[in-house]
Amino acid sequence: MRWRMLLCAGWLISGWIGSAQAALLPSQPPPICLSQPGSAACAAQTRQDLNARMNHLYRREMQKVMGTDAERRLDHAQNLWRRWANADCLFRNGPQDRGGPPWQIRQDACLSDKIRNRIAQLVVYLHCVGNICPPG
Protein backbone atom coordinates (compact mmCIF):
# COMPACT_ATOMS: atom_id res chain seq x y z
CA MET A 1 0.00 0.00 0.00
CA ARG A 2 2.75 2.45 0.97
CA TRP A 3 4.68 1.85 -2.25
CA ARG A 4 1.53 2.64 -4.25
CA MET A 5 1.17 5.96 -2.45
CA LEU A 6 4.82 6.80 -3.09
CA LEU A 7 4.55 5.79 -6.74
CA CYS A 8 1.41 7.87 -7.19
CA ALA A 9 2.98 10.85 -5.45
CA GLY A 10 6.05 10.46 -7.65
CA TRP A 11 3.93 10.52 -10.81
CA LEU A 12 2.02 13.56 -9.63
CA ILE A 13 5.17 15.42 -8.66
CA SER A 14 7.04 14.53 -11.84
CA GLY A 15 4.09 15.65 -13.94
CA TRP A 16 3.77 18.87 -11.99
CA ILE A 17 7.52 19.52 -12.14
CA GLY A 18 7.50 19.03 -15.89
CA SER A 19 4.75 21.59 -16.31
CA ALA A 20 6.44 23.94 -13.83
CA GLN A 21 9.73 23.65 -15.71
CA ALA A 22 7.98 24.48 -18.96
CA ALA A 23 6.49 27.57 -17.34
CA LEU A 24 9.88 28.67 -16.01
CA LEU A 25 11.91 28.15 -19.14
CA PRO A 26 11.65 30.74 -21.89
CA SER A 27 8.93 30.10 -24.43
CA GLN A 28 10.99 31.92 -27.02
CA PRO A 29 14.61 32.94 -27.21
CA PRO A 30 15.72 36.46 -26.30
CA PRO A 31 15.05 38.96 -29.13
CA ILE A 32 18.74 39.25 -29.97
CA CYS A 33 18.76 35.51 -30.70
CA LEU A 34 16.08 35.90 -33.35
CA SER A 35 18.22 38.30 -35.36
CA GLN A 36 21.67 36.96 -34.39
CA PRO A 37 21.44 33.26 -33.48
CA GLY A 38 24.76 31.79 -32.40
CA SER A 39 26.21 35.21 -31.59
CA ALA A 40 28.05 36.16 -28.43
CA ALA A 41 25.23 38.59 -27.59
CA CYS A 42 22.63 35.81 -27.90
CA ALA A 43 24.63 33.43 -25.70
CA ALA A 44 25.19 36.12 -23.07
CA GLN A 45 21.54 37.23 -23.03
CA THR A 46 20.32 33.63 -22.76
CA ARG A 47 22.64 33.04 -19.78
CA GLN A 48 21.52 36.30 -18.14
CA ASP A 49 17.82 35.46 -18.58
CA LEU A 50 18.30 31.98 -17.14
CA ASN A 51 20.36 33.37 -14.27
CA ALA A 52 17.55 35.81 -13.44
CA ARG A 53 15.05 32.92 -13.34
CA MET A 54 17.36 30.87 -11.14
CA ASN A 55 17.89 33.78 -8.74
CA HIS A 56 14.14 34.34 -8.52
CA LEU A 57 13.55 30.68 -7.63
CA TYR A 58 16.41 30.74 -5.14
CA ARG A 59 14.92 33.79 -3.39
CA ARG A 60 11.49 32.12 -3.26
CA GLU A 61 12.97 28.95 -1.75
CA MET A 62 14.99 31.06 0.69
CA GLN A 63 11.76 32.76 1.84
CA LYS A 64 10.18 29.33 2.29
CA VAL A 65 12.96 28.06 4.57
CA MET A 66 13.67 31.36 6.36
CA GLY A 67 14.37 30.84 10.04
CA THR A 68 15.10 27.11 9.75
CA ASP A 69 18.36 25.17 9.59
CA ALA A 70 17.64 24.67 5.89
CA GLU A 71 18.14 28.40 5.28
CA ARG A 72 21.85 28.23 6.00
CA ARG A 73 22.24 24.96 4.11
CA LEU A 74 20.49 26.34 1.03
CA ASP A 75 22.63 29.47 1.03
CA HIS A 76 25.80 27.38 1.38
CA ALA A 77 24.68 24.95 -1.34
CA GLN A 78 23.86 27.77 -3.77
CA ASN A 79 27.24 29.43 -3.21
CA LEU A 80 29.07 26.14 -3.74
CA TRP A 81 26.91 25.37 -6.79
CA ARG A 82 27.92 28.70 -8.39
CA ARG A 83 31.61 28.03 -7.73
CA TRP A 84 31.31 24.48 -9.10
CA ALA A 85 29.43 25.58 -12.26
CA ASN A 86 31.99 28.27 -13.04
CA ALA A 87 34.93 25.95 -12.33
CA ASP A 88 33.49 23.08 -14.37
CA CYS A 89 32.82 25.30 -17.40
CA LEU A 90 36.29 26.81 -17.08
CA PHE A 91 37.74 23.30 -17.02
CA ARG A 92 35.76 22.33 -20.13
CA ASN A 93 36.58 25.47 -22.11
CA GLY A 94 40.07 26.23 -20.86
CA PRO A 95 41.35 29.65 -19.82
CA GLN A 96 39.80 32.72 -21.38
CA ASP A 97 43.09 34.08 -22.71
CA ARG A 98 43.28 31.19 -25.20
CA GLY A 99 39.80 31.48 -26.66
CA GLY A 100 38.73 34.96 -27.72
CA PRO A 101 35.06 35.56 -28.59
CA PRO A 102 34.31 31.89 -29.38
CA TRP A 103 35.48 31.03 -25.85
CA GLN A 104 32.90 33.37 -24.31
CA ILE A 105 30.13 31.83 -26.42
CA ARG A 106 31.14 28.34 -25.27
CA GLN A 107 31.40 29.52 -21.66
CA ASP A 108 27.95 31.14 -21.76
CA ALA A 109 26.44 28.02 -23.35
CA CYS A 110 28.04 25.77 -20.73
CA LEU A 111 26.80 27.95 -17.87
CA SER A 112 23.32 28.15 -19.44
CA ASP A 113 23.10 24.34 -19.46
CA LYS A 114 24.14 24.18 -15.81
CA ILE A 115 21.69 26.93 -14.84
CA ARG A 116 18.85 25.07 -16.58
CA ASN A 117 19.63 22.03 -14.44
CA ARG A 118 19.81 24.14 -11.27
CA ILE A 119 16.45 25.72 -12.13
CA ALA A 120 14.95 22.22 -12.29
CA GLN A 121 16.44 21.40 -8.87
CA LEU A 122 15.12 24.60 -7.32
CA VAL A 123 11.64 23.93 -8.74
CA VAL A 124 11.67 20.54 -7.02
CA TYR A 125 12.70 22.12 -3.71
CA LEU A 126 10.18 24.93 -4.02
CA HIS A 127 7.23 22.63 -4.65
CA CYS A 128 8.23 19.56 -2.66
CA VAL A 129 5.84 17.86 -0.29
CA GLY A 130 6.39 15.37 2.50
CA ASN A 131 9.42 13.10 2.49
CA ILE A 132 10.99 14.50 -0.69
CA CYS A 133 11.67 17.90 0.94
CA PRO A 134 15.04 18.64 2.47
CA PRO A 135 14.72 18.55 6.27
CA GLY A 136 14.02 21.91 7.95
Residue by residue, pLDDT tens for the chain (136 residues) are 443 443 344 444 444 445 455 445 555 778 888 888 888 889 999 999 999 999 999 999 999 999 999 999 999 999 999 999 999 999 999 988 877 789 999 999 999 999 999 999 999 999 988 777 887 7
Of 43, 61, 62, 53, the residue nearest 117 (C-alpha): 53
Task: Please state whether 108 falls in left (phi above 0), alpha (psi between -120 and 50) or beta.
Answer: alpha
Q: Is the pTM of this model over 0.85?
A: no
Question: In the CATH hierarchy, which top-level class contains the domain 2-132?
Answer: mainly alpha
- What is d(CA 13, CA 53) in angstroms, rounded to the nearest whole number? 21
Tell me what pLDDT residue 130 has. 79
Tell me what pLDDT residue 96 has. 85
**Cα–Cα distances in angstroms (integers) from residue 55 to residues 9, 27, 30, 51, 117, in the given order:** 28, 18, 18, 6, 13
- What is d(CA 99, CA 3) in angstroms, rounded to the nearest whole number? 52
Tell me what pLDDT residue 7 has. 39
